[in-house]
Structure 1
C-alpha cells in the first residue's frame, strides 16, 4: 500500500514538472514573439533545466531557443554555453553555428572561433559573414598587438547599468547627452527586452574648471516610461533627433525616430518623424550630416543587404525626401549601426559584418568628390572584441566619447573617452548683424581651390566651425535673408601644431539704417580725416561684394547749432563720403548723399543698451530726452547722434536691360564645369 502511494506521488511530481515545463515554454514563446528576449530567455532556461537529459532532442531545441535570446540581449557568456549544448544535441542550424562563431569572436576566443568558421566554410564557402569572420579570427590577435595611436579611458559618467550613445552638445561642447538604464530613469518596471529599466536620456554639464556634473535626466517632457536613446542634434542645435521604442503588451516593439525642439533652454515632447509608411521595420540611431541636408539612420527595412543597414533620407524645407540605402562598401549582410559624423564629413559607424576584432567595431567612411566611400578600421584600443559604437567628437578635433561593453560580463555598455593626436587646422566664424546680435538663420558657403564646395550651417550663437586643408585657399560667403552678403578669405599654410583661424561676418541690414563706425571729420568742417579711410574701405568692399545694391549715404548732427547750419554741414559731409567711394571705384549712380542735420535723432537698439545701461531699447535721442540727463550722459547722446549711416535703396542695380529684361551673367562668371571649378557665384 505504501509502495502504491509512492508511485502515485512520483507520478504526480512528473505531471507537475511537465505542466511547469509547458507553462514555461508557452510564456517564453509569448515573450519572444513581442521581442522580450530577457524574459523569454529566463523561461527557456527554466524549461531547459526541467527537461530530462534523456530527452536530448527536446533539450537541444530548448537550448537553441535560449541561446538565440541571450545573443539578442548581448549576454554573450550565457549564449555561448547554450549554443554549445544545442550543438551537442545536434539541434543547431547552420545559422545558429554562425551566430555561435561570431559570439566566440566577441568573447575574444579567436582560436575557437577560427575552428568554427573553418567548419562553416565547407557548407557556406561564399558567405560574406563566414569569410570575414574567418579573417577576423586569424588576424585579430595581430591587430590587437599592433595597436594604434588612440588613447582610451573609462569615464566617470558610468553607472552599474548600461550607459551608451554619448553626444556632445553646445557651442563649447560643455554638455554631454547620453542614454542610461540606471535607477534614476523613469518608471518602476523592468524591461522584458533587457531586464533593466527602459533607457532615458541624461545630461552632464562641464563647469569653468573643466569638471563634469553628476548626470541628471533631461527635464521637461523629453523622457517617458518608454525607451528613449541614441540622440543627435541638427547643426544649428535647435532640433534633437532620438530613438524611441514604445511598449505594447501584444505587439512586437519597433524602434522609431522622434524629434524634439529646443525652446527657452528646454526640450519639447518628442513627436514621430515619418520616414516611411513601413510600419513593420525599425528606424533608429539618427545622425544628421554636417551640412544639415541628410538624415542617416539604421533600419531593417526591405531593400537592404541583410541584417541592419545604414540608410539616409534628404531633409528639405517641405519635409523628408525618399530613402536611400548606403550600399557597398558600407553595408554588409551583417549589422551596420550607430552612424555619426565628424565635422570634416567622415562618417563613423559600427559593424559586425566587416573584418574586425569581434562584436560591433567602429569603422570610418571617407568620401571623395563623387560620394564614393573608402573604409578604414581605426584598430585597437578604440575597437575591442566587444561592441564599440556611438562616437561623438569635440568639434573638429579627433577626441570625444564613445560606448563599449568590453570587459563587462553582463553585456552592459559604458562610456569611454578617446583621443587621437593629430594636427588640425580649423576656422571658427561668427555671423551677426552689424551693430546687432547673432544671426542663427544665416548660411555660410565655403569654397576652396581644391574643389571644396560646402554649405555650412550656423549654430544658435551665430557661429560655425569647419576643418581646413593645408595648402588650400578658401573663400567664405555669409548670407542671410534681409541682409547684405559678406565674404572673407583664408590662405592655409602647413603648420607644426593645431591652429584655429577666427573670422567675423558682420552683415548689414537691407531694411534698416546701418552705422558706419569710425568716420571722423575735422571740427565744424566736412573734411574727412585720414583715420576714416579704414572704415570707408570696408564700405567699398561691401559694395563690391553686393554689386546690385544702391545706397543712400546719410550724415547726421547733434541738436546744437542752427537747423540751417547743421543741414548744410551734414550734406557736405555725406557728399565727401560719396566722393571717396566714387574715387575708390564705386559707380556714382549707386550712391545718394543726404544730409539730415538734426532732423532724425538716433533711436536706440537693444545691443547699445548693453554698453549704456541707462538707455532703453526704443529711446529716441531728442533734445527733450537729452536735456534730462547729466552732463556726461548728454555728451554720449550727442556723440551717438553725430553719425554717418547708409541705407539700402535697391537690390536690383544693373540686373535688367533698358527693356526691363534680366541681363545674362557675364561670360567670365558662368559656372565652370569639371574638376577645375573652384568658384561659386550668388
Structure 2
C-alpha cells in the first residue's frame, strides 16, 4: 500500500507531513556535506515535505552513496531519512537495512528499534522483531505500540502454525505488474468487481513521486454468464483523472460510488479526501467532494457505507482520535453529511492505525490495524456487536492475515467469501488482490419487496427482529431484493415498509440444519393511492357466494388489515361486460358485501370496510404483473368491451376473467388515531436516549 488512496506507508498510514512543520529528524549544516550530497538532500527534503516518498528515497540514497563512510554521523542521519521513506513505501527489506545503519551509526533511539521491529514483523523475522521490541520498551517503558508488538512477535509463529479454515488464493485475472488493491463487489448478483490499480492503463502520463508508478485509478472486471471474470478495464467516464483515485464503496441503492481522491499539487502536501460519483445510464459521473468537516489539514479516506445506508464510515487523522489514524463515522443522506463526526473509540481504535473499514450485511465491521497485534503489518480484525450493544473483536488468523499488509475486504452478499488485498510475498511491497472463503453452514433469508401488480421497490426497507436479540434495518437492492443471515433456534419477524405503501409482515422460524439453507419470502406491498387486485377470490357461478378456495386469499387480506390497523378500505367487486348494467351492478354489490362479511367475521371492524359494486363500469387497467403472466397485454391497456372484442377468441375469455375481479383501495390511513375532539390518541412520551442504543432498531407492539 504505497499510494495516497491506499493510505499506508505513504501519504496516510504514517501521516502526511503537515504544512509548515519541521521534519522531525536531526538537521545538519549543509556546508559540511559534499556538494553532490548536499544537493541530493535538499531535493530529498523537498520531496519528503510533499509526501513524495519514492522520489525522496532516491535522493537520500544518492546522498548516502556520496557521503564517505568515515562521516558516520552524517551517514546515520541520511540513513534515518531513507528508513522513513522505505517504511512508508512498505519496502520492508530496504527499511530494515536502513534502520540497522541508523543503529550502526549510533543515532538510534527507542522509536528506531520499534520501527525496525515493525519491519522485521513484515518480513516474518519474529524472533529478531521480539528482540527489537524489547529494546524499544527498555528505552520507552509503557509504550503501548512496542508492548503490543512484543506480545504479537512472541505469539506470531504459533498463530501462523494454527491455520484457520479460511481458503485464500491469489487472483491473477485481476492483478497486474503494479499495484492492485481495495476490491469492491457491485451489482444485484455481485457480477462486477471494482478496484484500484496503478497499472499502465491508468489515466495520466506522469509517474507518482510517491510510488514511482502511475497514480491509482478505478478499474472494473465483469463476470460472464458462465461465472468467469473478464479482463479489467478502466472506467470510461469522468470518474478517473490524473489524480489518485481508489478504495471504492457503494451506497445501499447502488446509485453513488464513494472513493478516496488525492489531488496533485506540486507545491503542497497531498491530503486525501472522499468524493462521490453518481451513476446515470450505467455510467459514473465526475466526482464531487463530500464535505465531511471544515478541517482542511486532515486526511479523509477509505469510505464504507453501513448496511442500512445511514452511516458513512471512514479513516482519518482528525484531532481527537486515539492516535495515528482512527475509524470514524458520520450520518449521511444522499450525498450530504447530516451531523458531526463520531470516533468509534475503543476497542476498535488504538494508538496505532485503523483503516479500511467495510461491512458484512449482518452488521459485522471488518477493518485493518497495526495496533492490535498480529502477524505483521496491517492485520484484518472483525468487530461484532454483542447483546450489550458494544463491539467485541475477533482475530481471523492465518492465512487471511499474513506477515504483510492485509486489508480491503469485500463480501459476496451474506456469504463469508469474497476478495481482499495483500502485499504478502512482494519484495516491493506492492499490493495484489486475493480471494477468500470461510466454509461454513449458513442459513439465510432472501426476500423481494415489490408493488402489488407493479414494480420492485428499491426505496423500501425491511426491519428484522428476532427473539435472540436481533434488531436490524436492512436496505433493499435495485431489484427490490435483500438477503440476511439468520440463526438457528430463532423466531423472526420481518416487516417491509415503503413510503406510499402499506406494510407487509412475515414470520419465520429457523431450525438447526446440517447444510446451508436459504428461505425465500415475498413482500408485495399494496399502494395507498391505486386499486389493488386480490387474486384467487372465487364465487359460485352467477351468485355472490364465496367458494372455499377463496379462503387463503381472504385470510391474507385479514392479515394485511391487521398489520395496518389505521387503514380503512373500499372493497369493490367488478364484472365483465356481458349482461345488463343493472344486473352486473347488483351482482357485484352482493359479492363485495360477501367479502366484507367474511372480513368482519374474522375480527375486522365494520367501519373500516366500505363495500362497493361497480359492475362493468370500471374495466381493468393492466399493470406490470399482468403483462408478465399475459405477454399479449401491455401495461396501461384498458380491458373495455371494444378492446376485448378485437382480441383473438381464445384471449377474449381470459380478458373477461381478469375483469371479473375483487379489488380494494385505501380510503384513510388515520383510522383510530384521533379521539372525538380531534386529538391524537396515545401520544408517544419522550424517553431519554440510551447512549448504547442502536439507531436502526424497531419495536413491534
Q: TM-score scaled to structure 2, two decimals?
A: 0.91
- Cα deviation digits, residues 580-619 of structure 1 (max 9, x gap): 1112221111111111111111222244334434433322
| 142, 157, 180: which one aligns with 1:141 | 157
Displacement of 1:164: 0.7
2:71 corresponds in structure 1 to 55
CA contact (8 A) 1:275 1:320 kept: no
Decide whether aligned partners of structure 1 residues 610 and 220 sit closer, same or farther in structure 2, where only a CA change above 3 A counts. farther
- Cα deviation digits, residues 510-555 of structure 1 (max 9, x gap): 1000001011122222222211111111111111111111111111
Displacement of 1:636: 2.6
Answer yes or no: is 1:430 the counterpart of 2:452: no
2:524 corresponds in structure 1 to 506
Residues 214-613 of structure 1 aligned to structure 2 (within 5 Å): 214-316=231-333, 319-613=337-631
2:10 corresponds in structure 1 to none
Residues 110-189 of structure 1 aligned to structure 2 (within 5 Å): 110-156=126-172, 157-189=174-206
Provide the rounded CA distance (Å) in 1 between the counterparts of 2:541 and 2:682. 48
Provide the rounded CA distance (Å) in 1 between the counterparts of 2:70 and 2:377. 35
Q: TM-score scaled to structure 1, two decimals?
A: 0.94
Displacement of 1:319: 3.0
| 88, 98, 108: which one aligns with 2:124 | 108
Residues 671-682 of structure 1 aligned to structure 2 (within 5 Å): 680-681=699-700
Displacement of 1:628: 2.4
- Cα deviation digits, residues 131-177 of structure 1 (max 9, x gap): 11111221111111112111111112111111111111122222111
Provide the rounded CA distance (Å) in 2 between the counterparts of 1:550 and 1:326. 46
Count of matched residue positions in the alignment of Structure 1 and Structure 2: 663
Displacement of 1:463: 1.1
SS of 2:59's equivalent? Answer: helix
2:92 corresponds in structure 1 to 76
SS of 1:456's equivalent? Answer: strand
- Cα deviation digits, residues 627-649 of structure 1 (max 9, x gap): 22222232232222211111111
1:30 corresponds in structure 2 to 46
Decide whether aligned partners of structure 1 residues 611 and 493 sit closer, same or farther in structure 2, where only a CA change above 3 A counts. closer
- Cα deviation digits, residues 399-424 of structure 1 (max 9, x gap): 11111101000111011111112222
Provide the rounded CA distance (Å) in 1 between the counterparts of 2:524 and 2:635. 21
Provide the rounded CA distance (Å) in 2 between the counterparts of 1:191 and 1:140. 35
CA contact (8 A) 2:220 2:232 kept: yes
Structure 1 spans left out of the alignment, 5+ residues: 1-14
Provide the rounded CA distance (Å) in 2 between the counterparts of 1:354 and 1:596. 71
CA contact (8 A) 1:40 1:69 kept: yes
Displacement of 1:475: 0.6
Answer yes or no: is 1:85 the counterpart of 2:98: no
SS of 1:559's equivalent? Answer: coil
Provide the rounded CA distance (Å) in 1 between the counterparts of 2:271 and 2:389. 31
CA contact (8 A) 2:291 2:337 kept: no
Displacement of 1:665: 7.2
Provide the rounded CA distance (Å) in 2 between the counterparts of 1:153 and 1:361. 17
Displacement of 1:207: 2.0
1:5 corresponds in structure 2 to none
Provide the rounded CA distance (Å) in 2 between the counterparts of 1:577 and 1:639. 18
Provide the rounded CA distance (Å) in 2 between the counterparts of 1:187 and 1:679. 49
Answer yes or no: is 1:631 the counterpart of 2:653: no
Provide the rounded CA distance (Å) in 1 between the counterparts of 2:596 and 2:356. 58
Displacement of 1:575: 1.2
SS of 2:339's equivalent? Answer: strand
Provide the rounded CA distance (Å) in 2 between the counterparts of 1:123 and 1:94. 5
Answer yes or no: is 1:211 the counterpart of 2:228: yes
Answer yes or no: is 1:64 the counterpart of 2:80: yes
CA contact (8 A) 2:255 2:278 kept: yes
- Cα deviation digits, residues 474-512 of structure 1 (max 9, x gap): 111111111111100011111111111111110001100
Provide the rounded CA distance (Å) in 1 between the counterparts of 2:698 and 2:429. 52
2:4 corresponds in structure 1 to none
Provide the rounded CA distance (Å) in 2 between the counterparts of 1:313 and 1:298. 11
